[in-house]
Amino acid sequence: MHDLDATLQRIAAAPDPAALDAERVAALGKSGWVTALLKTLGQMSPDERQVKGPEIQGQRARIADAIEQRKAELDAAELERKLATERLDLTLPAADTPMGSVHPVSQVMDELAEIFADLGFAVAEGPEIESDWYNFTALNMPETHPARAMHDTFYVAPRDGVEGTFVLRTHTSPVQIRAMQQLGAPLRVIAPGRVYRSDSDATHTPMFHQVEGLVVDKGITMAHLKWTLETFLKAFFERDDIAIRLRPSYFPFTEPSAEVDVGWSMENGRRVVGGSEGWMEVLGSGMVQPRVLAAAGLDPDEWQGFAFGTGIDRLAMLKYGMNDLRQFFDGDLRWLKHYGFSALAVPTLSAGVGA
Ligand code: DAH
């Protein structure tokens, strides 16, 4: 004779999932005793069935509930056991050379952050989908400004419930506005990040990287700009013979504006940065246009600033000698192995930012 209480006790005491399943089979399986009882219902008279039916069904339900409860207990205990035993010691040194490598763009971004941190600059960020106001208007490029046409802008399709025009930011300059709004003045930031323009050939890709620099303070002059850029380029290219030349230029967000050339020379048949056999353009820069300060909520009579911007991919190519920008974004493992950097070699000023 099978006894419900004994079955329930054995279920509650089942030491492991296999023992629990054996109890389930013995009671509720095809030849289980509850199943056998259920089969007897067919031969009963209706009156008898009315009494016995709910009784047997009730037993079945209590057993099923008990099995479920014990299963949950066993599962929880198993999880506890795993958590307690399957530990990974993350403080252990990496035994083998780590797989993968740091992309030159990430490497250069780290180098920039390191160099400018030493000069008191923080790193600022902004969204890649940017409003037309931040990307253009606040930077002294109103809707009718001809410079807007120079940017080959990707416009974002309007979305229901979202007011205004949005673009994929065409430069990192809008982060200037965001940084001034968020942090106020005085201010020293760089803003590295992705930018987008509808342009594609060996030296242009639709997505590329820029870094923006912005200093706002009292009594800031073009001399501060020149010293900062010279100091940066010397640290970045790790050479003291860096010569720079500022050429008058035009950007809507700076006045006056200057394009910055760096001197190059031939070494082993290769053109390298340093010396002054020739000049190549590396940066755009200038004194922040008073209207830009005002758009960001600062009083231009009180504050002055300088700003600069340049392409990170281009800096990487100049420093590390790649010549086709498109390969940066091909994801070719052979290229990444060749030009990538060790994840363990963090750029520092003392050990050299050149990795
Ligand atoms: N935003 C410019 C571009 O994408 C680069 C630039 C030029 C940034 C001059 C600046 C600047 O901050 O002062 O071509």
Q: Which of 98, 60, 77 is nearest to 14 (CA)?
A: 77
DSSP state of 348: B
Binding site membership of 193 for ligand 1 (Cβ less than 6 Å): no
Q: Note the pLDDT of residue 209.
A: 97
Q: Which of 84, 58, 73, 89 is nearest to 11 (CA)?
A: 73
pTM: predicted TM-score of the whole model, two decimal places: 0.73
Binding site membership of 196 for ligand 1 (Cβ less than 6 Å): no
Q: Note the pLDDT of residue 351.
A: 66
3-state secondary structure of 288: strand
Q: Mean pLDDT by 10-residue block, N- to C-terminus, for the chain (355 residues)?
A: 86 95 94 92 91 92 95 94 87 73 94 96 97 96 82 90 93 98 97 94 90 97 97 95 96 97 92 92 97 98 98 94 89 92 78 59
Long-range pairs for 64-68: beta carbons < 8 A, 24 or more residues apart: 64/28, 66/8, 66/11, 66/12, 67/11, 67/20, 67/23, 67/24, 67/28
d(CA 22, CA 15) in angstroms, rounded, equals 11
Q: Note the pLDDT of residue 143.
A: 87
Long-range pairs for 145-150: beta carbons < 8 A, 24 or more residues apart: 145/252, 147/251, 147/252
Query: Ligand 1 center to residue 285 CA distance, Å?
Result: 6
Q: Note the pLDDT of residue 296.
A: 98
Q: Where do we find the tokens 């509720």?
A: 28
Binding site membership of 254 for ligand 1 (Cβ less than 6 Å): yes
Binding site membership of 292 for ligand 1 (Cβ less than 6 Å): no
Query: Ligand 1 center to residue 309 CA distance, Å?
Result: 4
Cβ neighbours for 10, distance < 8 A, ≥ 6 positions apart = 23
> What is the full DSSP assignment across 239-284?
-S-B-EEEEEEEETTEEEEEEEEEEEEEETTEEEESBSSEEEEEEE
Percent of the chain with pLDDT over 90: 80
Question: Going by CA atoms, what residue is nearest to atom 6 of ligand 1?
Answer: 309
Q: Which residues pair with residue 191 across a beta bridge?
A: 212
Query: Ligand 1 center to residue 184 CA distance, Å?
Result: 21
Task: Locate the ligand 1 atom nearest the alpha carbon of residue 214 and give its number.
Answer: 12
Q: Note the pLDDT of residue 97.
A: 64
Binding site membership of 305 for ligand 1 (Cβ less than 6 Å): no
Q: Which of 151, 210, 251, 293 to mutate to test the pocket of ligand 1 (most atoms within 8 A of CB)?
A: 251
Question: Going by CA atoms, what residue is nearest to atom 7 of ligand 1?
Answer: 284
Q: Note the pLDDT of residue 231.
A: 96
Cβ neighbours for 152, distance < 8 A, ≥ 6 positions apart = 170, 197, 198, 199
Q: Note the pLDDT of residue 355.
A: 43
Q: Note the pLDDT of residue 352.
A: 66
Task: Locate the ligand 1 atom nearest the alpha carbon of residue 306 and give its number.
Answer: 13
